[in-house]
Amino acid sequence: MWWLLHNKNQAFAARGVHGQTIYVDPTAEMVIVRLSSFPQAKNGYIDPTSLPAYQAVADYLMNKETETTGQ
């Protein structure tokens, strides 16, 4: 299934059980593919750490590009 995350970058993700994720952030021009075998099948156990981590990577990439281009 595809999930709209309603975050500031309008990210969306294809998500499966046990942490499988394809995370797409169009604003940061970033895709993260996570292969996982988390012991519990529910994403609710993983989301409190995974989703902020994905956003942090996007923020880092966008800040790095701003520093490089000066825009």
Work out how many domains the chain is built from and give that number: 1
Strand ranges inside the chain, DSSP E: 2-4, 12-15, 21-25, 30-34
The 8-class DSSP code of residue 10 comes to -
27 lies in which domain range? 2-69
Q: Scan for tokens 């989703």, then name that residue.
A: 51
If you average pLDDT over every residue of the chain, what do you get? 90
Q: How many residues does the chain have?
A: 71
The 8-class DSSP code of residue 53 comes to H
pLDDT band, very low/low/confident/very high, at 9 (cuts 50, 70, 90)? very high
pTM as predicted: 0.84
Q: Tens digit of pLDDT for each residue in 24-50?
A: 999 999 999 999 898 888 888 888 999
pLDDT band, very low/low/confident/very high, at 64 (cuts 50, 70, 90)? confident
pLDDT at 28: 96
